[in-house]
Amino acid sequence: MAVYALTGFSLVSLISFGYLSWDWMKPGLVADVPTGPMEKSLPPAFARPPHIIFILTDDQGYHDVGYHGSDIQTPTLDRLAAEGVKLENYYIQPICTPSRSQLITGRYQIHTGLQHSIIRPRQPNCLPLDQVTLPQKLQEAGYSTHMVGKWHLGFYKKECLPTRRGFDTFLGSLTGNVDYYTYDNCDGPGVCGYDLHEGENVAWDQSGKYSTFLYAQRVSKILASHSPKEPIFIYVAFQAVHTPLQSPKEYIYRYRSMGNVARRKYAAMVTCMDEAVKNITWALKKYGYYDNSVIVFSTDNGGQTFSGGSNWPLRGRKGTYWEGGVRGIGFVHSPLIKRKRRTSWALVHITDWYPTLVSLARGNLSNVPGLDGYNVWPAISEGKESPRTEILHNIDPLYNHAKYGSLEDGFGIWNTAVQASIRVGEWKLLTGDPGYSDWIPPQTLTNFPGSWWNLERLTDGLRKSVWLFNITADPYERYDLSEQRPDVVRALLTRLVHYNRTAIPVRYPAENPRAHPDFNGGAWGPWASEDEVEEWEGGGGDPPKSRGKKKKCKICKLRSFFRKLNTRLMSNRI
């Protein structure tokens, strides 16, 4: 029998946490905006394609929003969600690139070759060019398309860049994480470069501006320069709240009573992001877009508990296939929703946004067969049943195989050593190594010796490779039913076999020294020439290490000095 141990404080006290009340329309520090009600009138007739604003946050934990009982102040998100439709059966992927690729393509990662890990900065890899992307479909429907924020879908050649994949404009970073002020990203010791781009050029002049502020301000500028009579799609992929934990000190001061330093900084970043969303929403109203707009809010994966995030009361964290890694915060806010102010338990997955938004835009989906997503707008707007009944969380043949898994344990049809997870109806199956499996309460107390968080730990199950849960009855994954219901295990393994037959080979090439920022003037960016790309993609193998000469990087030493100085300054922040 499983043995649980809860340390630190009682389960009852954790579940009873409430969020702090706060005037959500109080003028914020992102911009000085007037106050007023969010909704003044009934929605107009759905007479023309709506403006679409898709907001994606990075590493925000399931618990880390006010309406999930958090101690973090998110009055804007709380209000938008309360006036719209909260998605409480909403799923994403456990890490960055997979969620973003599935949003942009409407396909599971086994159908794009991105089923293993993320796209690394030095890999000659990107979102497959044969995929018709969401912004491309919206362009076809007459939309102006803009991206602000984190790309993380590859950039080794120019054809991979956001402006070549359907976006008219782009301001943001290409890699997975950067400094919020200097926009530096180090992919290993000594492999550092600047990563903020405007279109296809390096945006050196924007250095020093806090990214959450910068991105919200850019959205406002886009709205100010566009006509609300013409449909617009803006994809806002905030860097927040991914590490490094950096925030203006005035936001950190609000959480000065938090004993845990990481949680304090993380909370400040979440609240800062919340105010950025407030300013984006206000810009939609100010410039005449709001009444015909659809705002979608989504996280990209579970929170990283070692960096202040919390997925409580769900099991696991970012990078795992437990609910804490794949169940996301999601809601839709729009005057166009027919049944507002409610919570939806309709099953929704991040791949569903592609067909849903293209359908809202009155675009054509007939020339993109084989999508894994569904149009869930009737479920969201009208409360109808979701067309989705199952989710393939993933099949990753390259991930470390579980020590105790075998084909025999998989009824001779599936090797349970392989990392995989699927949900069918109310049942969820995991095989292989699903990742870190503890339940970690919010990190609100002062650091404890040897650990800065308290946890409830499952102490058995270390020799397992198959888990089965009734996720509807047991959303916290406490009661493994794999031994009691072998019939269900076998049925779900059969579905994994089905999906695996449709998978394309994993694309996860070796890192290439040619990608080093020093070869590109000190910045991350496309580095492969057309001749090189033709040679590699034609079967010539990995790029030769000696190819190309280093471009002189006159500012690298100076930037290195400022990077070290900035690090010291950050270490002195609250």
Active-site residues: which are they?
96, 152
Give me the residues paired with residue 172 across strands: 149, 197
How many helices and strands (H and E) does the chain possess? 13, 20
* 265 to 172, 313, 472: CA distances (angstroms): 23, 21, 34
* 241 to 265, 268, 330, 387, 443: CA distances (angstroms): 10, 9, 16, 32, 16
CA gap 368, 111 in Å, rounded: 13
C-alpha triplet 544, 549, 554: angle, nearest 5°: 140
CB-based contact 35:218 (threshold 8 Å): no
CA gap 471, 235 in Å, rounded: 31
Using CB atoms within 10 Å of the CB of residue 50, give its burial: 0 to 12 exposed, 13 to 18 middle, 19+ buried: buried
Spatial neighbors of 49 by CB under 8 A, at least 6 apart, are: 141, 142, 143, 231, 360, 361, 362
CB-based contact 553:172 (threshold 8 Å): no
Nearest to 486 by CA among 465, 467, 473: 467
* 318 to 243, 251, 508: CA distances (angstroms): 13, 25, 21
CA gap 302, 422 in Å, rounded: 17
Nearest to 442 by CA among 4, 91, 13: 13
- 525: tokens are 């960016």
- 159: tokens are 């054809």
For residue 555, the Cα-to-chain-centroid distance in whole angstroms is: 33
Nearest to 442 by CA among 38, 3, 43, 66: 66
CA gap 60, 329 in Å, rounded: 8
Tell me the pairing of strands 85-87 and 330-333.
antiparallel
Kindly write down the DSSP assignment for every residue of 92-134, as one continuous string. Answer: --SSHHHHHHHHHHSS-GGGTT--SS---TTSS--S-TTSPPH
Nearest to 193 by CA among 525, 540, 449: 525
Output b/e per residue, 267-300; b: 16+ Cβ within 10 A: bbbbbbbbbbbbbbbbbbbebebbbbbbbbbbbb
> For residue 406, how many C-alpha atoms fall within 13 Å in the half-sphere facing its CB?
4
If DSSP codes are grouped into helix, strand and coil, which group holds residue 502? helix
> For residue 106, how many C-alpha atoms fall within 13 Å in the half-sphere facing its CB?
25
- H or E element at residue 357: helix 353-360
